Structure 1
Amino acid sequence: MSYTLRDGRVNEPSGSSSSASCICGICSANITSLSLSNRQIHYDTHFNDEPQVATNETKASPSKLSNFFTPTRSAAQPNSRDRFWHSAQLPSSPPKNFVPGLIPFLKTQLSKSHSTGSTRRAVLCHERAVLVLRQSWDANWGCGYRNYLMACAALMDQQLQPMYFPLLDDPIPPSIFNLQRILEEAWSHGFDPEGARQLGHLVGTKKKLGVADIQVAFTYRNIPSRLVEFDLKDKGADVLINWSVEYFSQPHGIVDKESIRRPQTINDALRGAAAVTTTSRMPFILQHDGHSRTIVGYEVTKSGDINLLQFDPSQMLPDSMRAAGIALWEDHNKPASSKRPAASSFSRTPLKRSRVNENEVIEINDDDDDVLVLPSPKSVPKPDIRGEKISPGDVLKVFRLQPKRILRQRKYQVLYFPLTSPLTEVERRAQAANGYGEKIS
């Protein structure tokens, strides 16, 4: 895509070129002479039993693909793990590297931090956002793909633009390998000739993707997005942080860079607001050279510093935090009828008298005059499945992106979703040719 932005794409090694010989990584056939569309047909024979059938799991042969897609040889079958999941996908449980419920969990922990005076204010994105983590087989190249899946999971589970769901789900749903297929299909229809030249053959490779490539995939599916580049050379991390605060201050729409300001300058507007809130804003993708992550909100500390809050696909999430998020998600999705167990109608000897918080329980049976004295059962502590005993400081340490860390890089790119109506064909073609981008410094 012909952006005026220079760094919207991850650079490939200088040897990469679309003019190079193209060998199928699965069957070793030379497919250099094939057009992009015919290469797609060739790969369909490997990836699907029936090409173009939408599934939530790639139907490739694990025995053929395992070694090819795995960074190191192992007995794992990574293609069988190339799954997509979102919070509305009930009653299925999330794969191990998909973690719903973390936004409500973060809201609880930030509220605790506020009660101790450590956090002044915090704003979070759409509460049904899902963390998607890399796995061992895509550890060295999968961040861009995982951030794409996080964006899809949020966009397909929001109510403002319900048409986004079928646009993203059909004819093939999101996944790592399907993203590669979508991009090659977009190139074959004239989208992003620059990207097609830079990346060349993509399907079945371990090539990294940047936010410019991800935007092409969303544009091809008629999903509006905006690409913004930040240069921190003159104004430091405030340039990016202030934009992020403005982004989360509005429920949807294009960010007006002229109205960007720090929260300290709008205290009057905040006095009546809750200290910790969730919004309908989608998370956005933040990229710098070599890595990308998803931003889900921000926090103002007691000293006035502002931390961004991140879902980083490369981080190790403690099991206790994953369990807490899953528990909150399950509570939210539990049918109302199952929240309170019904009393049994088959009890022949109802309890006539009971006492609580005593050492012994006396139970009287109507059928005879015997009095049974039963010892009280030992108290067993309940597992902390909702993370109620986890320290807020320990939780926030995992999700904070502090200004000093942001300053380690000079240039950043953001891809965000304004939740406007799906692109018309005219808008889609215009964005395919020129991109929707701006530069802030």
Structure 2
Amino acid sequence: MSALCPVCNLTLPHDQIESHVNAHFDDDKIDPQIASDHHLALQLASTSDPSPSSSASSSNLDDKAASLVRSQTKSPFYSVGNGGLICLLKTCLESELKSKSKPLECSTSLLSGFVDHFQASKEDKGWGCGWRNIQMQCSHLLSHRQEAKRVLFGGSNFVPDIPSLQRWLELAWNNGFDVAGALHFNNQICGSKRWIGTTECAALLRSFGLKARVVDFAPKKSQAMYLSVPGSTIAPKIKSYGPMDRFVIKKGESGKGKTVDSHGSNLSRTSKGAVLMGWVWNYFSDNRLNVSSGVHMTSKAPLYFQHEGHSRTIVGIQRRLQGTTFTPQYNLLILDPGDFTRGIEKALVEKRGWEGFLKRGAHTLTCPEYQILYVDNGIADGEELEQLKTIDSHFVEFYCLP
């Protein structure tokens, strides 16, 4: 037996309806948008097959989603003042431009908007980096994208803790998102300390209708291998999904693979650092050829950055043009869940030692393969949502130079 909630029109079992209705009146004022958001999130999280054979299963998944919306817990984290870490980083980059000891007149930095830093705790040290980067990604989406705020975690408007995220991921698997990846974990992740990777992040975000895309950076010979990271099971496809995928693979007359950017420039035999940095720059610059020097806030979400054994969050990129040929030199601007938030904040406020926390040059990209996840705008539904259940990736080739 089920009943309809008189506030949000959500159908729930009789034994849950009383507590659900009472929850609407915990606050003095009911936000009708939040009530609608809960319903939309549950629709996106449920199967769309209306056939009688699937109705019982669909109802069960709806019940699980409704229960999780009510029971999920907000993740504790250290809140940074002064507009958050990204604003502090912007100030440091601007000060660097004005420094007389090391002038950077031809330096351009591109940053994502607000991102909360979620540091690893004693409880998840050594295995929780993937979850922490999901939390960082979601903190931005909740702050900057209204459509994401409406569907993420039932419209709760907060970033859940790791146990709650694990339950959301299991629900995504139960709804058919990333079947191959789910089998790797035997469809169970709650209470586990097993590592997760980019594909688990993609499955979780896609289950809410968010258009999470995965990009692989690897030598051609590794195209079918991808990362040897637990759970990173991807159906490979060399396919461009949109303007963010700058690089495509083409065959030259000699038969050797050549990497070509969207403007036709030949990047044949380019090292992994140059290719990856170029892609990240293109992502944050939104394919613009001419970006003025200075520090710019963009509309881009941060990037989930995975390599074997660890993952971090890219919140921006710096480009310096040096020498008479103006050869670009890049620094990724990264938040690492392994660092202490207070330490990062202190370094940024004092403008001393912050580079060691946040800057990573091309020479640091020593792993054989990398994965990046980004989130396109918009919410998928219908057939597009069904297509998102299969996690595939765009392959970007680089060459290992001797």
For each residue in 1:101-138, what CA deviation from the matched residue of structure 2 results, as whole angstroms up to 9, or x when unmatched?
A: 11111111111111124543233333311211111110
Task: Please name the residue that 1:293 is paired with.
Answer: 312
Counterpart among 382, 390, 395 of residue 425 in structure 1: 382
Counterpart among 119, 130, 154 of residue 170 in structure 1: 154
Question: How does 1:398-417 map onto structure 2 within 5 Å?
Answer: 398-406=357-365, 408-417=366-375
Relative distance call for 1:188 and 1:169 in structure 2 (3 A) is: closer
Percent identical: 26
Code of the aligned partner of 2:85: L
Kept in 2: contact 1:97–1:135 (CA 8 A): no
| In the alignment, structure 1 residue 242 sits paired with structure 2 residue 233 | no
Q: CA deviation at 1:191?
A: 2.1
Code of the aligned partner of 1:403: A
Q: Distance in 2 between matches of 1:418 and 1:52?
A: 26
Task: Please name the residue that 1:102 is paired with.
Answer: 85
Task: Please name the residue that 1:194 is paired with.
Answer: 180
For each residue in 1:375-412, what CA deviation from the matched residue of structure 2 results, as whole angstroms up to 9, or x when unmatched?
A: xxxxxxxxxxxx2x433xx2122101111111x11210
Give SS of 2:216's match.
strand
Structure 2 stretches lacking a partner, 5+ long: 1-56, 221-268, 323-327, 398-402
Counterpart among 355, 377, 380 of residue 396 in structure 1: 355
Relative distance call for 1:152 and 1:318 in structure 2 (3 A) is: closer
Q: Distance in 2 between matches of 1:56 and 1:198?
A: 25
Give SS of 1:137's match.
coil
Code of the aligned partner of 1:229: D
Kept in 2: contact 1:132–1:146 (CA 8 A): yes
Q: CA deviation at 1:424?
A: 1.3
Code of the aligned partner of 1:410: P
Q: CA deviation at 1:187?
A: 1.9
Counterpart among 122, 127, 141 of residue 136 in structure 1: 122
Relative distance call for 1:324 and 1:290 in structure 2 (3 A) is: closer
Kept in 2: contact 1:97–1:134 (CA 8 A): no
Give SS of 1:180's match.
helix
Q: Distance in 1 between matches of 2:86 and 2:111?
A: 8
Relative distance call for 1:97 and 1:404 in structure 2 (3 A) is: farther
Q: Distance in 2 between matches of 1:220 and 1:437?
A: 17
Kept in 1: contact 2:110–2:285 (CA 8 A): no
Give SS of 1:401's match.
strand
Counterpart among 54, 66, 69 of residue 70 in structure 2: 54
Larger Rg: 1
Kept in 2: contact 1:110–1:122 (CA 8 A): no
Kept in 2: contact 1:122–1:297 (CA 8 A): no
Counterpart among 102, 114, 137 of residue 151 in structure 1: 137
Relative distance call for 1:398 and 1:54 in structure 2 (3 A) is: same
Q: Distance in 1 between matches of 2:79 and 2:120?
A: 7
For each residue in 1:399-428, what CA deviation from the matched residue of structure 2 results, as whole angstroms up to 9, or x when unmatched?
A: 01111111x112100000122x10112111
Relative distance call for 1:121 and 1:102 in structure 2 (3 A) is: same
Q: CA deviation at 1:166?
A: 2.2
Q: Distance in 2 between matches of 1:409 and 1:274?
A: 31
Give SS of 1:54's match.
helix
Q: CA deviation at 1:284?
A: 0.6
Equivalent residue pairs, number: 280
Counterpart among 183, 205, 209 of residue 192 in structure 2: 205
Code of the aligned partner of 1:127: G
Give SS of 1:309's match.
strand
Kept in 1: contact 2:303–2:314 (CA 8 A): yes
| In the alignment, structure 1 residue 283 sits paired with structure 2 residue 299 | no
Q: Distance in 2 between matches of 1:414 and 1:191?
A: 19
Kept in 2: contact 1:297–1:309 (CA 8 A): yes
Task: Please name the residue that 2:38 is paired with.
Answer: none
Q: Distance in 2 between matches of 1:55 and 1:152?
A: 18
Q: Distance in 2 between matches of 1:247 and 1:199?
A: 32
Q: Name the structure with the higher strand share.
A: 2
Question: How does 1:20-59 map onto structure 2 within 5 Å?
Answer: 51-54=67-70, 57=73
Question: How does 1:369-384 map onto structure 2 within 5 Å?
Answer: none
Relative distance call for 1:171 and 1:301 in structure 2 (3 A) is: closer
Q: CA deviation at 1:154?
A: 0.4
Kept in 2: contact 1:118–1:302 (CA 8 A): no
Task: Please name the residue that 1:24 is paired with.
Answer: none
Relative distance call for 1:168 and 1:247 in structure 2 (3 A) is: same
| In the alignment, structure 1 residue 84 sits paired with structure 2 residue 66 | no
| In the alignment, structure 1 residue 127 sits paired with structure 2 residue 113 | yes
RMSD: 3.1
Kept in 1: contact 2:333–2:359 (CA 8 A): yes
Q: CA deviation at 1:190?
A: 2.1
For each residue in 1:246-289, what CA deviation from the matched residue of structure 2 results, as whole angstroms up to 9, or x when unmatched?
A: 00102xxxxxxxx69xxxxx5xx24xx24111111110111011
Kept in 1: contact 2:80–2:345 (CA 8 A): no
Relative distance call for 1:202 and 1:98 in structure 2 (3 A) is: farther
Q: Distance in 2 between matches of 1:318 and 1:404?
A: 27
Question: How does 1:250-261 map onto structure 2 within 5 Å?
Answer: 250=286
Relative distance call for 1:148 and 1:171 in structure 2 (3 A) is: same
